[in-house]
Amino acid sequence: MACFSLTLQKLVCFGFLFLAWLGLSACGPAEPKTDAPAPDMRRLTEDQYRNIIADVFGTQITVSGRFDPLVRTEGLLAVAAWNTSVSSTGIMQYEEIAQSIATQVLSKENRETYALCSGVSYTAFDESCARKFLAKVGRVLLRRPLTKDELTARITIARDSANTLGKFYAGLSFGLISLLVDPEFLFITDFTESDPARSNAIRLTAFSKAARLSFLLWNTTPDDKLLRAAESGELHSRDGLNREVNRLMASTRLKTGLRAFISDMLNFDEFDSLEKDSIIYPAFGAAVVRDAREQTLRTITDHLVTRNGDYRDLFTTKKTFMSRPLGMVYRVRVKAPDNVWESYEFAPDDPRIGIQGHLSFLALNAHPGRSSPTLRGKGIRSMLLCQKIPDPPADVDFSGFNNPESLGKTARERLLAHATNSACIGCHRIMDPIGLALENYDGAGQFRGVENDAEINSSGELDGIAFSDSTGLGQALHDNPAIPTCLVNRLYAYASGRTFTAKSDWLTYLNKVFADGGYRVTDLLKRIATSTTFYAVSSPHNLDQTFESASNIIHFD
Amino acid sequence: MSVLNFQHMSTKTFLRTFAFASIFFLSSPMEVTSAEKMTLGFVITNWSTAMYETLFMDECSGGPTPGNYEIWEASVTPEVRRSYPVLLFSQLRHINNRGRNGLNVCDHPTSFDDPSLEIIEGKYAYGANLDGNKHGRATSTSCEHKNFTGLNGEEGIDNQMYRLMGCVEAWKSYGHIENNANSHRLSSGLGMILIEVTDVENERNDESVSVSFFRGIGSYNLDSTGNPLPYASYGIDHENGRARYGDTVMGKIVNGVLTTKSADVHLPFFGNYQYMNQLFRDMQLELELSDDGEPMTGLITGYYGVDQFYSYVRGMLSTFPNRHKFSCPAIYVAAHQLADGHPDPETGECTTLSSAFNIQAISAFINHPDYD
């Protein structure tokens, strides 16, 4: 009995140790320490600006005007936003947009809804109403409650304007305009405070944390619940942060956030200037351009969010969505009526496969009147594999390639010229063999078996993996180790504005998390959103960025 | 003894067994590997009366037929003519009411004796030999009429519709009527005709296919120049799960040309502000199929009702006979005189006109509703 008792004890101890080991294993590898960047600020993108206005005032408010463009940096517009200011013309444009928004919000039709005041004189200035309105919208627009002084200043602007114009709401609109052109609205700024957990260290304020989280997951300003979590200090606790991350990720708005990232990563801003030769591709009209973009975004969010699928399967999937305009270009039956999307799956023997087989990729990475194996190969290298391709030499001669009668019937034959030109071969041999696998799709993405009556050879090669057609390319992309690592690189750069070298511990950690989790993007997002690194900041040299004391904060319920 | 033990089987038994087995296996269906059957879909994008036209209108020995306004102008004094300085709508309506006791001549085509319609006297026409003979004499199913020669030299072509309307400029290829009707259809989607070919084993040659005609619903999908785009998806007009049109005929494909057997077919029509449910008697379709979405040309031949046709003429806007030069009474009288098909069993008068219509079509997907 004594022996049995001893054996039982050993078993119990072993069991506890085993359970502890399981628990620790389930948590995954520990987050490595990284050098935290200095606090920074980034300009709102146009999409973010529009999303905020829609969230605060509703979709019936039209945002019309021009925004200063962003120049893509390190493959992303989001990274450029961290390194971009506003031109003087840009400020004027923001002011014009703000005036238009304010006029609509405080128009006769809308003012009662937004101002939440009733029985207000249209001429005499009503300070109570003005205070209520400006504090409410100011909290959401600036992503934190206004201080006493800030609110007083806005009320003064509104009062002075109302007294001059003799109209209360006209004056109130100037108070709103002052918020819409405030740098703290136009720029998402990292505000910091002393970190009570570490001496001589700073941390992001809860409001700045909320902003980072909200723009990552929803691509818009923090909602009321998230602002309350910030106000109460919950976001500084692990449980509080996890709770809000889970809430945001459970929302359908997660797809909006992911769409913004995917659009940036795949250069979908180029759709704004996409044009095809209407004589060569008569079906490729405005409706097709609109729907081609939407098709890929729907396919990706459906796969990554709804189905929580493996990211790599995006390059081999046959599942997508189809609309009537797209059906004409893909030459497939669409049962759904106009302006309605239906699920669609390409037949097993259909050569079209993966998002690289969508019109969005094929048409964006082609010329107005013909296909381009080079552009498509470059697109895959730069957007999906995060590899930089140098620009062509300034004195390159395209005439041979552009004249289809001079060198060959198919693009493959015409591109042979690059193989013999020492100035060209270095870059083209890493682009063309990929793009040639997609030559069965013309400049609009329509399938073709021949070009100039010559049968198309769609064999190719990617990093030593040869394939005979676009199906093989899809599988080669799926299996290429750079596909998931590039996604990790881009996603974190999008989230933080920071880029890392491939050897950084932080990227290595994220890549391992991604791989161990079966390449689930939602899991990766969650890991980033709940990480310490994502919110880490370090003291900049000789700068003091402490936040206003709590006694100056106005609360509005 | 096992029935399969042939060694010990008597010859009689063996022969019985062999006979039974033979009957069984020979009467079983042969296992045939049939090719996967395809469905082809088309939408008609252009429809016009098939007109053989020469550069100087040699087919109309008397020139183009005068219209409503010319006839009226010739019947009034210069002073009366000068009292109509501009053809305002109110004045045009007055001109239409030139019939007996002020009757509208289109509504009452026998209320005014218009000059006879100029009709086609030429030799050639598009069309088909609908009555099966080359002599043009009256038969039990047709009335006496002159035959044409087809452009390929084929004799016995029946096309009285062309004879009737071939000298009316408004109906010619450059005229207003057909072009306006096509424009109406393309812009509205009304009167869309869908052709579905089923049981197709080979798109180039197939001895037996089924061809169905439906009315499409929705709009044409047009490119930036207003031309319809191929491979669009269209639904069919239906009510309570039943297609409002949907006549099916047998056909075949020979060297890429689809033809159908003669049959009565209902087709929708919209054009020049009018809806019609058309009945084509003994209709045949010939359509030259193309791949890669290129437009296809074809011909629809058959007998078109005289009353059906005149109701279309009569239903046009009141300004049309004046602005587009045709005379309702002249057309009415000539149509009845030239009718060559389907004699009325009581009166013996023919009630239909042999006709031919040029069509253009493009590939389309045809969606049937999901019937519960």
Per residue in B238-268, pLDDT (tens digit) is 988 788 888 999 999 999 999 999 999 999 9
> Which structural domain, as residue segments, surrounds residue B348?
38-367
Q: How confident is the prediction for chain A on average, in pLDDT?
A: 89
Write down the pTM of the prediction: 0.85
Task: Tell me the nearest-neighbour CA distance from A456 into chain B, angstroms.
Answer: 16
- B199/A92 Cα distance (integer angstroms): 66
Per-residue pLDDT at A547 exceeds 50 = no
Instruction: Say whether pLDDT at A4 is over 80.
Output: no
Residue A473 has pLDDT above 80, yes or no: yes
- Coil, strand, or helix at residue A134? helix
Digit-coded pLDDT (tens) for B350-366: 999 999 999 999 999 99
Does A283 sit within 8 Å of B365, measured CB to CB?
A: no
How are beta strands B350-367 and B232-236 bridged, if at all? parallel
Q: What are phi and psi of A389, to 5 degrees?
A: -110, 125
Chain B within 8 Å of A368 (Cβ-Cβ)?
no
Q: Per-residue pLDDT averaged across A474-494, rounded?
A: 96
Is residue B80 a part of any domain in this protein?
yes
Q: Which of B218, B224, B232 sits opposite A328 (nearest CB)?
A: B232
Helix (H, G, I), strand (E, B) or coil at A192: strand
For residue A164, what is the enclosing H or E element? helix A148-165
What's the confidence (pLDDT) of residue B300?
98
- Cβ-defined contact of A335 to B223 (cutoff 8 Å): no
pLDDT band of A28, cuts 50, 70, 90: low
Average pLDDT on A379-389 reads 95
B71's CB contacts (< 8 A; 6+ apart) are: B114, B115, B327
The whole-number pLDDT of residue B110 equals 86
pLDDT at A217 over 60: yes
Is there a domain that residue B322 lies in? Answer: yes
Q: Which residues of A255-281 are buried (b: 16+ CB within 10 A; e: fewer)?
A: bbbbbbbbbbbbbbbebeebebeeeeb
Higher local confidence (pLDDT), A549 or A359: A359
Q: Does B63 touch chain A (CB under 8 A)?
A: no
Closest CA to A188 of A159, A210, A158, A170: A210
Encode pLDDT of A156-208 as tens digits.
Answer: 999 999 999 999 999 999 999 999 999 999 999 999 999 998 888 899 999 99
pLDDT surpasses 90 at A346: yes
* Domain annotation covers residue B27: no
Query: Does A332 lie at the interface with B, CB-CB under 8 angstroms?
Result: yes
Q: Is the pLDDT of residue A407 over 80?
A: no
In this prediction, residue A210 has a pLDDT band, given cuts at 50, 70 and 90, of very high
Does residue B11 sit within a domain?
A: no
Top pLDDT among A156 and A34 is at: A156
Average pLDDT over residues A306-316: 98
Interface test with A, best of B43, B217, B229, B237 (most A CBs within 10 A): B229
**B contact test, residue of A331, A339, A446, A451 with most B CBs within 10 A:** A331
A79-88, A305-314, A323-332, B339-348: segment of lowest average pLDDT? A79-88
Assess contact for A338 and A397: CB atoms under 8 A: no
CB < 8 Å to A283, chain B: 221, 223, 229-231
Q: Is the pLDDT of residue B33 over 50?
A: no
CA–CA dist B339, B342 (Å, integer): 9
Reported as a single tens digit per residue, the pLDDT across B179-213 is 999 999 999 999 999 999 999 999 999 999 999 99
Q: Is the pLDDT of residue B6 over 50?
A: no
Determine, for residues B224 and A328 on separate chains, whether the beta-carbon distance falls below 8 Å.
no
pLDDT at B5 over 50: no
B7 within some domain: no
Instruction: Tell me whether residues A282 and B231 touch, CB distance under 8 A.
Output: no
Any domain includes B331:
yes
Enumerate the residues of chain A whose CB falls inside 8 A of the CB of residue B218: 337-338
pLDDT for the residue A220: 97
Distance from the Cα of B232 to chain A's closest Cα (Å) equals 5
Number of domains in chain B: 1
List, for residues B265-312, the tens digit of each pLDDT value. 999 999 999 999 999 999 999 999 997 889 999 999 999 999 999 999
Q: A-contacting residues of B 287-346, CB under 8 Å? A: 293
Whether residue A435 is predicted with pLDDT greater than 50 in this model: the reply is yes
* pLDDT score for B31: 33
Instruction: Name which of B272, B340, B345 is nearest B131 in CA terms.
Output: B340
Of B225, B233, B235, the CB nearest to A327: B233
Q: How far is CA A138 from the centre of its chain?
A: 25
What is the predicted pLDDT for the residue at A200?
Answer: 85
Q: Does A460 touch chain B (CB under 8 A)?
A: no
pLDDT number for residue A281: 95
Greatest Cα pair distance in chain B: 119
Distances in Å between the Cα of A448 and the Cα atoms of A435, A456, A543, B129, B292 are: 15, 8, 62, 41, 9
- Position B1 pLDDT exceeds 50: no
**Of B229, B233, B367, Cβ closest to residue A283:** B229
Report whether pLDDT(B372) > 90: no
Inform me whether the pLDDT recorded for B129 exceeds 50. yes
Residue scoring higher pLDDT (A111 or A503): A111
pLDDT at A150 over 80: yes
Give the pLDDT mean for A456-482: 96
Mutate to test the interface with A, among B223, B291, B294 (most CBs of A within 10 A): B223
Asked whether the predicted pLDDT for residue B231 surpasses 90, the reply is yes
The answer, for A275 touching chain B at a CB cutoff of 8 Å, is: no
Kindly state whether B228 is in contact with chain A, defined as any CB-CB distance less than 8 angstroms. no
Q: Considering CB atoms only, which of B223, B230, B367 is closest to A278?
A: B223
Q: Across chain B, what does the average pLDDT equal? A: 87
Does residue B21 fall inside a structural domain? no
